Amino acid sequence: HPAFAVTRSPRRWRCESSSPICAGLGHGGSTPRDLIELPGDAHLDHVMVGGVIHSAIVYGPSGNGKRTRIRSAAIRAGRVHITISIPDQFADRLADPIEAFHAQLKSCLALDPVVITLQAMSFAIARDDTAFCSRVRRLLYDPPPEATIIVTASERLPAEFEDVVQDIVTLGLPDPAAILGETTPQPRPIAD
C-alpha cells in the first residue's frame, strides 16, 4: 500500500510508516497484541492446511508478528506449534549445538501433527557454523511427514536455504526480491 515504507540495510527490512494501516507492524520492535491482517496471511494459512507443504521460509519486517501469526494459523489448522530458538541451541556450552537441536527436534516430532518454527536462523549463519546450517538445510529439504518446518527471518536468507524449501511466504512486504533487486526466489516444486 502507498503508506508502506521499507528501509533496508544490506538484507534487512523494517517498516517505518506511522500510518494506522501499518498498525500491525510493531514499530517499537515488539509485536502488538491485536495484529492487523497483512498481505501474506492467507498464504500462511494455506501452508498450514492439507499437510502438503512441509517446509517454508516466512519473511517479514522485525516485530510484525511472524511467530504469532504462524502460531495462530497452526492452531486454526488443528496443529501444535513449537518454536525452537536457534541461539538457544548454541547457549549450552556443555552440549554440541547439533546434538541439542536433534534432541529438541525429536521431542517436538512426538507432537504429530506439529508446526515447528526455527527462529533466528541468521544467528547460525552469522557464526558461519557450516555443519549446523547444513543440518538445517537437510531438514528443510527432507522434512519429516508429521511436521511443517518453518524458518522465520527479517533478513533475506542465502539462496541455499531458499532453494530447498517448498514454499516462501512474505508477510506485509513487497516481494523480497523486488526490494533487493534480485531475481524472485523460486521454492523447489513439491514432489507428487
Written as nine digits, the cell of 174 is: 513487497
Q: Does 167 fall in a domain?
A: yes
Structural domain of 138: 38-180
The pLDDT assigned to 141 comes to: 95
Range name among 2-16, 20-34, 100-114, 142-156 with the lowest pLDDT average: 2-16
Beta partners for residue 80, in sequence order = 114
Cβ count within 10 A of residue 160? 13
Q: Does 120 fall in a domain?
A: yes
Q: Does 10 fall in a domain?
A: no
Pairing of strands 80-85, 55-59: unpaired
Range name among 48-52, 54-58, 100-104, 164-168 with the lowest pLDDT average: 48-52
Q: Does 168 fall in a domain?
A: yes
Q: What is the mean pLDDT of residues 161-186?
A: 68
Output the DSSP codes for 140-174: HHS--TTEEEEEEESBPPPHHHHTT-SEEEESSSS
How many independent structural domains does the chain possess? 1
Q: What are phi and psi of 156, to 5 degrees?
A: -65, 125
Write the CATH number for 83: 3.40.50.300
- Model pTM score: 0.75
Q: Does 91 fall in a domain?
A: yes
Cis omega (within 30 of 0) for bond into 158: no
Q: Does 157 fall in a domain?
A: yes
Percent with pLDDT over 70 in the chain: 71
Distance CA 187, CA 56 (A): 9
Cell 558461519 locates to: 128
Cβ count within 10 A of residue 41? 19
Q: Does 92 fall in a domain?
A: yes
pLDDT at 1 over 50: no
Edge-to-edge strand list for the sheet holding 114-119 = 80-85, 114-119, 147-153, 55-59, 167-170
Band (pLDDT 50/70/90 cuts) for residue 60 is confident
pLDDT tens per residue across span 128-161: 899 999 999 999 999 999 999 999 988 889 999 9
Q: Does 145 fall in a domain?
A: yes
